[in-house]
Amino acid sequence: MMASRPAMLVTGATGYIGTALTAALSAASCVVRTLSRADFLAGLKADSFADVDTVFHLSAQTNLRIAEQHPAEDERANVAPLEGLLKVVRPGTRVVLASTVTIAGLASRIDHRTPDAPISVYDRHKLAAERLLHGATAAGHVRGIGLRLANVYGFGSQSRNTDRSVLNLMMRRALAQQPLTLYGDGAYVRDFIHLSDVVTAFVAAGSADAPVGSFPIGSGTGTTLAACFALVASEAERLTGRPVSITRVPEPADLHAIERRNAIVDPAAFCAATGWCPRTSLRDGIRGDLARFSAAAALSDVAGTAVASAPLDRAALKGAIAP
């Protein structure tokens, strides 16, 4: 009799990245289990993880301002769950943690050697979670890897955090013939990486021969926000035949310093260790996503920005995660 396949567990499976990752693992015929926040609150039991070979820990509170206003709650959301997981997973489990490149603070070029310099509550707690994971790895209990993600965008389930996925928001606005609102001159540089590339990075990190440690995950290319918005506008006009305006508005006075950074993320260390590489250019990603957002709106008969909250079927999810 054939042995049962090891299970892969995804926390945060109903979130933006978690939904796409879960669909990708399921499409690859993996045994996939999920864990909700309610499960964490109810208490985790070791026997529930007896056959779990890999844990993808994506469950998190990702709103910068909520973290600043409620640091204790943010710690409970972003540090305590991982601490609980590490107590109950069986020895040797591969644990992949969703982390963030903003742990590097205001560094403008980020690679695996960039010193940690977190300047926000959210980033300090993400670093604390990483240190828990690497401590458990050094002790020989788990094999842990943290993926420090750059700015993720791409068609998929709607992020619960309105501060995230700004390009997704602008694509929906463009299709709804609403102006794109740009803060100031839009000169801040960001590294946008497509959701499909992020999903394949997680899959690579979950493999048996993946390394341990922390690795920045980005496209390796920086683009100003002004250029990004211009690209969304031009591609939306190319698709619909309707011009899209860009409205410049004053930059909010309460922007956090981390929101004023300029950053390009070099993923070379992770590429060399796993063979993974980002494959989707910014133009190709925006062009394909605009078409998907438009098709989803037509299928759901929901116009404009509301399309992002419409249910996505398996075929749509496969389209979102195709490499």
User: Is residue 25 a contact partner of residue 203, using CB atoms and an 8 Å limit?
Assistant: yes
Share of the chain above pLDDT 70, in %: 89
Structural domains in the chain, sorted by start? 7-321 (3.40.50.720)
Model pLDDT for residues 103-144, shown as the tens digit of each residue: 999 999 999 999 999 999 999 999 999 999 999 999 999 999
Model pLDDT for residues 175-208, shown as the tens digit of each residue: 999 999 999 999 999 999 999 999 999 999 999 8
* Residue 69: count of CB within 10 angstroms of its CB: 11
Amino acid type, 123: D
Predicted confidence band at 321 (pLDDT cuts at 50, 70, 90)?
A: very low
Residue 260 has which token pair? 């004023």
Ramachandran bin of 289, using left for φ above 0, alpha for ψ from -120 to 50, beta for the remaining angles: alpha
Compute the distance between CA of residue 188 and CA of residue 218 in angstroms, rounded to an integer. Answer: 16
103's CB contacts (< 8 A; 6+ apart) are: 116, 117, 118, 123, 126, 127, 130, 148
Model pLDDT for residues 66-80, shown as the tens digit of each residue: 999 999 999 999 999
